[in-house]
Amino acid sequence: MKKIITFGTYDLLHVGHVRLLERAAALGDYLVVGISSDQLNVNKKGRAPVYSTKDRIEILQALSCVDETFVEYSLEDKGRYIQEHNADVLVMGDDWAGKFDEFSNICEVVYLPRTEGISTTHFIGNISSGKRVEVSGG
Ligand code: CTP
């Protein structure tokens, strides 16, 4: 069985997240997602997610392409998480291109292109101003 692992906050789930997860899942047989804890998000992005860690986990677990989730508490522990889950492939969006090459000694590292035109941060801005979110393609 080929195991894929990926990481992210996945706050206010949007089509960019879903496409990334579906493409990641298609690379193997089993998809594990490390979901950033609320505190890690504060450290990483300077703000708490809108949805709690518990709710983000519940939402991701409801997706048919996601087999397993766990909470990522620390960016420094990525190597340990990859090994604990026996992952064969680490998938990251290409906003992280090159940043995880150090793990290519323990698994394959793949960067997938991001979906243009949407991010949780933009989404929050759009909601506040009542604007619709339109994403092309897919
Ligand atoms: N992602 C993607 N396309 C987008 C947005 C995100 O493929 N338009 C991918 C990221 O590359 C990452 C995963 O989805 O692999 C989770 O990203 P996350 O940081 O949680 O989502 P963003 O929408 O980028 O959040 P933010 O605006 O808060 O940075």
Please indicate whether residue 57 or residue 134 has the higher confidence score (pLDDT): 57
Using CA positions, which residue lies closest to atom 7 of ligand 1?
114
Average pLDDT over residues 61-78: 97
**What does the pLDDT look like over 29-62, one tens digit per residue?**
999 999 999 999 999 889 999 999 999 999 999 9
Q: In 3D, which of 103, 120, 117, 82 has the Cα closest to residue 6?
A: 82
pLDDT-based confidence at residue 138 (cuts at 50, 70, 90): low
DSSP 12: S
3-state helix, strand, coil in the chain (%, to 5): 40, 20, 40
**Would you say the CB of residue 93 lies under 6 angstroms from ligand 1?**
yes
Whole-model pTM: value is: 0.95
**Would you say the CB of residue 121 lies under 6 angstroms from ligand 1?**
yes
Ligand 1 pocket, mutate which of 9, 32, 41, 89 (most atoms under 8 A from CB): 9
pLDDT at residue 111, as a whole number: 98
pLDDT at residue 123, as a whole number: 86
**Would you say the CB of residue 10 lies under 6 angstroms from ligand 1?**
yes
pLDDT at residue 36, as a whole number: 97
Give the Cα separation of 91 and 113 in Å (integer): 11
- Per cent of the chain over pLDDT 70 is 99
